[in-house]
A and B are shown apart, each in its own frame.
Chain A
């Protein structure tokens, strides 16, 4: 947005007649939020306390909307440095704000790779300049993602890295992963696994099943994911280090994680919106907008993932936002790169699929979209309690809309939901002392009134 002045940032803002959902307090009620100078002064049921309503305060009638903690995404690709044609930290974080996010964690597979403190600082600086959301860099497990030599983890953590991953290039060497996990116990950050046995997924471009057989596309079997997760869970058992498992896509993977949690291991895991709403059948038209890694699995896997989000086996929803240029994606399916964007559609897709059609409570969805940062990466806890930072998002759960490429803040247009109708939309995002994103003209009118 960048529309607010320094004066706006400090000023008192009162959001009224809004449905407030704060999973950290079990709160879901018609209420208010008052904030000033980047802090929440009051948030709860009923009207704002009379003593906080000052004449100069900006009052926003948000009736019909939902107010929730700012969303946090533990898995995005902003491509900067090195691949700015796909996305930049500025465009990626603008997309995050438009999607209701106040915190995102970026994967280190940039050019150069985020394996030095300098690279971490570059990302933090660029994010601060852009100012759309807080960006938390994830460092590389191995130098250059080459899977050979460990990065200087403590140096990276001091610079601001919140975790380590070789996302996209799994650590094939079990010995290296063991030592990295062992080391991470003195760092207080998790090792993050991109679970893929490359010898099993080699050449594959979609889920291995009836559809890959029919389409004549090489398949990626379940075992490419599960064999790797099983290894990393055993390394977690061996080292006692915290393990986070990325983009879980299948029923069998969920079962492995469920058992690890039952065993008391410090394992967390995420899944992505596309796995909850789409399946391998969506690849039937050879449209590369449905190509990502891990691949879209089956309806049965979809059901298992939703169940796992309900029962806590999966800790959060992360988009794996992976922008590519139109040129790169405009190729035959087998030749196009893996990856889809997701920040600007995540809430809509998850609300439509999980709440509207799936029977999940809105409160649980908000917890899954906002709770990951704290639980997994040690970021500040998403909360609307008095004294907490005034990071929140306003949602319209009734609005039905159709994503169009030209409306995205992201440079990416590789979105599976283009042209598909979705119910639920982010209206505004508030970061610290000001709005980082505002969509609705209605909100502006209310604010003026």
Chain B
């Protein structure tokens, strides 16, 4: 069982809880391969998807997960909600309370926004990304994908490349992977690596070729052009010269080393098209796993017992 009503971050999960979510996701993957990939587990539940920041793939992935669990869904997005009319997050919270939703999935541009919501409503909250803080379901789906390829995360070496400073994906990956016994190295231009990064339990390397030597997996992050409020690197050309993952670099790594990318990709900036479409990437597995992980999280937070899962899936 999960200890909290919410999934706000991976920092506060135990290794046992992470393993439970990943194992549950595997069971849902089996459901997704059925001719009718849908189970009636959450027929009586209402889930609100609150996206205050634009998102396509995360929002669709959550929606699909919710539909496959047969939940009723309400969608808010920044453009269509009253937030654009000056409503505060507090008012939004009060409205959700009045609607008696069972669960809220929220993405918001402010770090800590998911926590803000969770502290104020009895419904469960799933953080779909809060500012630069965490994106726990992305971390979980990355870990599920890695575990499928490597069998275990224990003792494996994972390199995360890119704009670590602005990345909630990086933070969730670091907490989750290190809890599961993996060794994490972050790599990127120095202005993109926040101060005292090592205190999160990872190592820092500014040289990509060096960082990926002996790595088991490389998670290439999107260069978030939209988050660069000030210039943190000289430009895409120079970034590509130093930090773009290409076939030649990949050839120098372990043959079993594979590549993840949370998408959407800036092709030929952080990753070459050859790598993005090549045989060592698992990018579409990540997308499939994303739906399964989100089904698992929603199921477990709705009070679904792991031991009843087999029965519930029949």
A contact residues vs B (CB 8 Å cutoff): 202-203, 208-210, 212-219, 221, 285-286, 327, 330-335
A332 touches B199 (CB 8 A): no
CB distance from A104 to the nearest CB of B (A): 32
B111 touches A333 (CB 8 A): yes
B196 touches A215 (CB 8 A): no
B196 touches A209 (CB 8 A): yes
Find the A residue at minimum CB distance from B112.
A286
Can you list 25 A-B contacts with CB-CB less than 8 angstroms, sorted by A residue number? A202-B229, A203-B230, A209-B195, A210-B199, A212-B195, A213-B194, A213-B197, A213-B199, A214-B11, A214-B171, A214-B199, A214-B200, A215-B111, A215-B133, A216-B132, A219-B194, A286-B112, A286-B116, A327-B88, A330-B88, A332-B111, A333-B110, A333-B111, A333-B112, A334-B110
CB distance from B90 to the nearest CB of A (A): 5
List residues of chain A with CB within 8 A of the CB of B168. 216
List residues of chain A with CB within 8 A of the CB of B142. none
CB distance from B279 to the nearest CB of A (A): 34
B195 touches A332 (CB 8 A): no
Q: How far is the CA of A218 from the CA of B165 in the complex (A)?
A: 9
A219 touches B195 (CB 8 A): yes
Find the A residue at minimum CB distance from B90.
A330
B291: CB under 8 A from chain A?
no
B7-18 near A? 1/0 per residue, CB < 8 Å? 000010000000
List residues of chain B with CB within 8 A of the CB of A216. 111, 130-134, 168, 171
List residues of chain B with CB within 8 A of the CB of A202. 229-230
Contact of B88 (CB < 8 Å), options: A208, A213, A286, A331: A331
Other A-B contacts than A218-B132, A219-B194, A334-B112, 7 sampled, CB-CB below 8 A, are A210-B196, A210-B199, A216-B130, A216-B133, A217-B111, A221-B195, A327-B88
CB distance from A204 to the nearest CB of B (A): 11
List residues of chain A with CB within 8 A of the CB of B131. 216-217, 334
B74-89 near A? 1/0 per residue, CB < 8 Å? 0000000000000011
List residues of chain A with CB within 8 A of the CB of B230. 202-203
Q: How far is the CA of A208 from the CA of B196 in the complex (A)?
A: 9
CB distance from A25 to the nearest CB of B (A): 48
CB distance from A110 to the nearest CB of B (A): 24
A331 touches B133 (CB 8 A): no
A335 touches B196 (CB 8 A): no
List residues of chain A with CB within 8 A of the CB of B132. 216-218
**Given that A209-B195, A210-B195 are contacting pairs, would A217 and B112 also be in contact in the complex, using a CB cutoff of 8 Å?**
yes
B195 touches A334 (CB 8 A): no
**Given that A202-B230, A203-B229, A209-B195 are contacting pairs, would A215 and B112 also be in contact in the complex, using a CB cutoff of 8 Å?**
yes
Contact of A213 (CB < 8 Å), options: B108, B113, B200: B200
List residues of chain A with CB within 8 A of the CB of B11. 214
**Given that A216-B132, A286-B112 are contacting pairs, would A332 and B89 also be in contact in the complex, using a CB cutoff of 8 Å?**
yes
B115: CB under 8 A from chain A?
yes
Interface positions, chain B 176-214, Cβ under 8 Å from A, are 194-197, 199-200
List residues of chain B with CB within 8 A of the CB of A332. 89, 108, 110-113, 116
Query: Which 4 residue pairs spanning A and B have beta carbons closest together?
Result: A286-B112, A216-B133, A216-B132, A332-B110
Find the A residue at minimum CB distance from B135.
A216
Interface positions, chain B 112-133, Cβ under 8 Å from A, are 112-113, 115-116, 130-133
Q: How far is the CA of A335 from the CA of B109 in the complex (A)?
A: 10
List residues of chain A with CB within 8 A of the CB of B200. 213-214
Interface positions, chain B 291-314, Cβ under 8 Å from A, are none
Q: How far is the CA of A152 from the CA of B212 in the complex (A)?
A: 63
CB distance from A212 to the nearest CB of B (A): 7
Find the B residue at minimum CB distance from A286.
B112
A213 touches B115 (CB 8 A): no
Q: How far is the CA of A177 from the CA of B130 in the complex (A)?
A: 40
Most central of A203, A209, A214, A217 by chain B CB within 10 Å:
A214
Q: How far is the CA of A76 from the CA of B130 in the complex (A)?
A: 34
CB distance from A297 to the nearest CB of B (A): 13
CB distance from B95 to the nearest CB of A (A): 15
List residues of chain A with CB within 8 A of the CB of B113. 332
Most central of A210, A219, A221, A327 by chain B CB within 10 Å:
A210
Interface positions, chain B 52-92, Cβ under 8 Å from A, are 88-90
A334 touches B111 (CB 8 A): yes
List residues of chain B with CB within 8 A of the CB of A213. 194-197, 199-200
Q: How far is the CA of A82 from the CA of B113 in the complex (A)?
A: 30
Find the B residue at minimum CB distance from A336.
B110
Find the B residue at minimum CB distance from A208.
B195
Q: How far is the CA of A214 from the CA of B132 in the complex (A)?
A: 9
CB distance from B265 to the nearest CB of A (A): 22
Find the B residue at minimum CB distance from A327.
B88
CB distance from A414 to the nearest CB of B (A): 15
Q: How far is the CA of A203 from the CA of B231 in the complex (A)?
A: 13
List residues of chain B with CB within 8 A of the CB of A214. 11, 171, 199-200
Most central of B11, B88, B200 by chain A CB within 10 Å:
B88
B94-118 near A? 1/0 per residue, CB < 8 Å? 0000000000000010111101100
Contact of A285 (CB < 8 Å), options: B108, B115, B134, B199: B115
Q: How far is the CA of A215 from the CA of B130 in the complex (A)?
A: 10
CB distance from A292 to the nearest CB of B (A): 16
CB distance from A243 to the nearest CB of B (A): 30
Q: How far is the CA of A330 from the CA of B168 in the complex (A)?
A: 23
List residues of chain A with CB within 8 A of the CB of B134. 216
Q: How far is the CA of A333 from the CA of B112 in the complex (A)?
A: 7
List residues of chain A with CB within 8 A of the CB of B112. 215, 217, 286, 332-334
CB distance from A309 to the nearest CB of B (A): 27
Find the A residue at minimum CB distance from B120.
A330
Q: How far is the CA of A444 from the CA of B168 in the complex (A)?
A: 58
List residues of chain A with CB within 8 A of the CB of B110. 331-335
List residues of chain A with CB within 8 A of the CB of B116. 286, 331-332
Q: How far is the CA of A105 from the CA of B42 in the complex (A)?
A: 61
List residues of chain B with CB within 8 A of the CB of A334. 110-112, 131
CB distance from A332 to the nearest CB of B (A): 4
B115 touches A286 (CB 8 A): yes
Q: How far is the CA of A7 from the CA of B65 in the complex (A)?
A: 77
CB distance from A113 to the nearest CB of B (A): 26
